[in-house]
Amino acid sequence: MILHTLIDYETLRLIWWGLLGVLLLGFALTDGFDLGTAMLLPFVGRTDVERRVMINTIGPVWEGNQVWLILAGGAIFAAWPPLYAVSFSGFYLAMFAVLFALILRPVGFKYRSKVDSPRWRSGWDTALFIGGFVPTLTFGVAVGNVMLGVPFRLDADLRIFHDGTFLGLLTPFALLCGLVSVAMLVMHGAAWLQLKTAGTVARRSARLGALAALATIALYAVAGLMLWHTVDGYRITSPVDPGSYSNPLRKTVEVVAGGWFDNYRQHGWTLAAPALGFAGALLAAIALAARRGALAFAGSTLSIIGIITSVGASMFPIILPSSADPRASLSVWDASSSHLTLFIMLVVTAIFIPIIVVYTSWVYRVLWGRVHEDDVTDASRHSY
Amino acid sequence: MELDIVSLSRLQFALTALYHFLFVPLTIGLSVIIAIMETVYVMTNRRIWRQMTKFWGILFGINFVMGVATGLVMEFQFGMNWSYYSHYVGDIFGAPLAIEGLMAFFLEATFVGLFFFGWDRLSKLGHLTATWAVALGSNFSALWILIANGWMQYPVGSVFNPDTMRMEVTDFAAVLLNPVAQAKFVHTVSAAYVTAAVFVLGVSAWYLLKGRHAELAKRSMTVASSFGLAAALSVVVLGDESGYLSSEHQKMKLAAIEAMWETEPAPASFTLIGWPDQEARETHYAIHIPMIMGLIGTRSLDKQIPGIEELVASAENRIRSGILAFDALQRIRAGGGTAAITPEDRAQFEEHGMELGYALLLKRYVDDPREATDAQIQQAAWDTVPMVAPLFFAFRIMVGLGVFFILLMAVFFYLSARRRLDRHRWLLKVALWSIPLPWIAVEMGWFVAEFGRQPWVIEGVLPTAAAVSDLGIRTVLFTIVGFVALYTVLLVIEIKLLLRAIRKGPEPDTAPDAPLTTPRLSQRLLSSER
């Protein structure tokens, strides 16, 4: 096949680096409010009816939203196989915790309403809270560890060896990133509830959401300062050929204090990402205090885009640094699939992502409107 | 099996996949049956069909979420437990998994919400579209997963790249149109339809036995038996196609299933039953049916099907050839990659490169395959024989059940056509007690396909033992216990909720009919924004 040479390897790798961000954002922005709503469940919903109102706002959509995570997993496998192989085996027990918690979610949503007993329902409420909190915290901790560097080594056959332990993941900076993630998605979930509910549920979520937005700003700022002062960045020191074959071992990498700020220093416009992270959260805080649902949701959306993009902008072109053997670090130029696979996957993605966006928007349009208490008490109207 | 990291990782994958596959076939099959029922509702306007759609939809939903929950693990487990596998074949294997998400699972999961929440928000045609989108999505999902799996059985369209130390795709169309994948897809999807048909038939039979909901039950049985009969026939035909393809591409699996130790003169006989003895390399108490195996496997009277001993001899040759490929590869890498390759090395690698995986079989015995002794090479060649007895029996249970399903569906199809569904109580009891059988059949089928592939994770390319992650034994033991405990608790809850929903029976459905097509958005907003 000659067709794939229409787009050169370097450009394809850049596009797929961008698409990696798009998929993670797709997950954080859509399933993010499901996770946030689940975390708010015990605090905003005090009665069974209130909790059912909350669950029914996400009931029809969380399943589709969760596919962003599955798709991100599949796309990383297809486009960045070494990243898929190193990260999921390296974060093995953390991934297990995430999967364990996420497994509770589908069943929790579906089975909670099937039996009308307080014990049954409060049991599933706990499961749903865990299903929201554990993945959100763990993903944040994982991002923190990615920035700190993961202790892995590659041998000449590109076999992967890990030196780290599960407890080794729980460093102060990583835990702080976990808290940023929790605050950010609680803010997003609260903005969603502001948009989709009325009355007590909306009032309580506005208050908690505004606090979460302010916490996002504070924690994100502290994380930035810690990154500046205590976390070493990784910098490729050998000449790179961005169009050459994928083998991480053919470069040299040095560890530099404050190195994760190189890109911000060299390309000032990239500072737009962290700025958006702060400004969006501020907008969400103000809009939630003013009980403006749509504006709050726009604010939290912008904030999430800013915060997640700021991680990518800071690390580029490194994707997964190795603290055990820095030259094994995975970068955009040496951890991708082959030229042909990247091209084919780009074509498939370019066809299907717009189709997905169209029908997902249609579904949200059909489901437009707030969920009221009498919607859930009227048995014929809702499932959960 | 020893308690090493390879067997534990295999055990975890097998357990999580077998659990996942308890829910998937019912999802695939029931989604189509429900879509058929709703189509009848929209076409005839008879509310009983909407009631049926909603009732089976409740059972579908309880099962569906378990498939989603256990499916999450599958998507990440390759990287978690099989990191060298993920690196080695991600360039090819990852693509169908990603396309599955893009093309199939998104469709299914997005519209399943509308299926449950859209009854009073959508027109009849709108809701029917959502239901068919769910059915289409779940079936496409199977297609892409089986394209991925088919490639593990018959790795086409790819080549090993010494620079990146992995397999890379050369012909994507060949991966898509892989004949093994196509046969597997239709076989698996048909088996899923049979599973759902037996489920609907059995539950409806229980209602007839109890004298409840007869109208709903009889109509459901008519749909289930006609749909199920077509599917049950297709399972066997496509199973035969799989067998034919195995004779071409996975000779060892076929020989092991048949416990064919020695090559027989063509056309080979089919061993109906017997006791395969791996140590003595013979099958005791065997009952043979002449000629059948040769006909199924080669569709001819004169082509031979090679037996296990002949295949081991050929594996030994391939191992020796693989050692030459390994040798060339080491020199290519020492010389600085393919950029600085010598013509001799290139020629040697091109001639033997396809057998590189066979050299990796020796890694169990020596670090450097070039230093393997003749005895080790012979031992590695015998390692290519999977355990025969479990395959032999699992296959026969699966086929026996497949034949039974044809009979069952044919009988109920006949009864339904003659409007005599409730005449024979014993037949209804047979239908009821048949409910667990399709699950046994599909799990056996999965076992034959995957266990029969051992010792390879990618047939002829990568041995399972080389594919595993660098994890501690206690770590994997911990996650096995964790997954099994969680899955078992959820499975018990799921079955209890299914039984509860079945005992409760269909809800009376008094809601007014929705308009056929969608009213304008502004009108709908008025009604929802009270």
Task: Give chain A's length.
Answer: 384
B530 part of contact set with chain A, CB < 8 Å: yes
* A381 located within any domain: no
* B263 located within any domain: no
* B15 located within any domain: yes
Do residues A100 and A58 make contact, with C-beta atoms less than 8 angstroms apart?
no
Backbone angles phi, psi at A164, to 5 degrees: -80, 170
Do residues B358 and B340 make contact, with C-beta atoms less than 8 angstroms apart?
no
- Provide, as residue numbers in chain A, all residues whose Cβ is less than 8 Å from the Cβ of B479: 92-93, 96
Peptide bond into B506 cis (omega under 30): no
Peptide bond into A317 cis (omega under 30): yes
Contacts of A37 (CB under 8 A, 6+ apart): A54, A55, A57, A58, A132, A189, A192, A193
Q: How confident is the model at residue B262 (pLDDT cuts 50, 70, 90)?
A: confident
Task: Give chain B's length.
Answer: 530
Q: Residue B490 sits in which domain range?
A: 9-252+385-504
The token pair that represents B102 in the structure block: 């893009």
pLDDT at B525: 53
- Comparing CA positions, the residue from A75, A137, A69 lying closest to residue A106 is A69
Q: How confident is the model at residue B137 (pLDDT cuts 50, 70, 90)?
A: very high
Contact A340 B172 (CB under 8 A): yes
Q: Distance between CA atoms of B184 and B245, rounded to whole angstroms?
A: 10
Q: Which residues 137-156 of A are in CB contact (within 8 Å) with B?
A: 156
Q: Distance between CA atoms of A98 and A133, rounded to whole angstroms?
A: 10
Please name the residue that has the structure tokens 């049950």: B232
A/B interface, count of CB pairs below 8 Å: 261
Q: Give buried/exposed letters for B517-526 (b at 16+ CB in 10 A, else e).
A: ebeeeeebee
Give the gap in angstroms from C-alpha A217 to the nearest C-alpha of chain B: 32
* B49 located within any domain: yes
pLDDT at B530: 37
pLDDT at A232: 92
Q: Give buried/exposed letters for A220-247 (b at 16+ CB in 10 A, else e).
A: beebbebbeeebbbbbbeeebeeeebbb
Please name the residue that has the structure tokens 């080549």: B159
Give percent above pLDDT 90 in chain B: 54
State the CB neighbour count (10 A cutoff) for residue B265.
Answer: 9
Domain count of chain B? 1
Give percent above pLDDT 70 in chain B: 96
- Provide, as residue numbers in chain A, all residues whose Cβ is less than 8 Å from the Cβ of B333: 156
* B372 located within any domain: no
B169 part of contact set with chain A, CB < 8 Å: yes
Do residues B23 and B497 make contact, with C-beta atoms less than 8 angstroms apart?
no
User: Scanning every residue of chain B, which has its alpha carbon at the shortest distance from the alpha carbon of A94?
Assistant: B80
Helix (H, G, I), strand (E, B) or coil at A321: coil
Q: Which of B122, B483, B525 is facing A369, going by the closest CB pair? A: B525
- Comparing CA positions, the residue from A67, A102, A23, A78 lying closest to residue B108 is A67
CA distances from A40 to A295, A305, B226 (A): 20, 21, 48
Transcribe A20-41 into DSSP letters. HHHHHHHIIIIIHHHHHHHHHH
pLDDT single digits (tens) B10-68? 999 999 999 999 999 999 999 999 999 999 999 999 999 999 999 999 999 999 999 99
Single-letter residue type at A292: R
pLDDT at A383: 66
Single-letter residue type at B13: F
Q: Residue A172 sits in which domain range?
A: 3-367
- Comparing CA positions, the residue from B294, B293, B256, B254 lying closest to residue B276 is B256
Q: What is the mean pLDDT of chain B?
A: 88
Between B340 and B148, the more confident residue is B148
Residues in chain A where the model's pLDDT stays below 50: none
DSSP code for A319: E
A382 part of contact set with chain B, CB < 8 Å: yes
pLDDT single digits (tens) A7-37? 899 999 999 999 999 999 999 999 999 999 9
* B235 located within any domain: yes
Do residues B454 and B218 make contact, with C-beta atoms less than 8 angstroms apart?
no
Give the gap in angstroms from C-alpha A58 to the nearest C-alpha of chain B: 10
- Examine the pLDDT at B316 and tell me if it is beyond 70: yes
H/E element holding A337? none
Q: Which residues 118-137 of B are in CB contact (within 8 Å) with A?
A: 118, 120-122, 126, 133
Helix (H, G, I), strand (E, B) or coil at B84: helix
Q: How confident is the model at residue B421 (pLDDT cuts 50, 70, 90)?
A: confident
- Provide, as residue numbers in chain B, all residues whose Cβ is less than 8 Å from the Cβ of A159: 84, 470
* B261 located within any domain: no
Q: Which residues 508-527 of B are in CB contact (within 8 Å) with A?
A: 511, 521, 525
Q: Which of B70, B86, B479 is facing A84, going by the closest CB pair? A: B86
Contacts of A272 (CB under 8 A, 6+ apart): A306
> ipTM, 2 decimals?
0.91
pLDDT at B529: 42
- Examine the pLDDT at B519 and tell me if it is beyond 70: no
* A200 located within any domain: yes
Do residues A216 and A187 make contact, with C-beta atoms less than 8 angstroms apart?
yes
* A256 located within any domain: yes
Domain count of chain A? 1
Q: Identify the residue among A23, A96, A348 best suited for mutation to test binding to B, counting B beta carbons within 10 A and taking the highest.
A: A96
pLDDT at A380: 59
CA terminus-to-terminus distance, chain B: 65
Single-letter residue type at A355: I
CA terminus-to-terminus distance, chain A: 51
Give the gap in angstroms from C-alpha B35 to the nearest C-alpha of chain A: 19
Contacts of A299 (CB under 8 A, 6+ apart): A191, A213, A280, A281, A282, A283, A284, A285, A286, A287
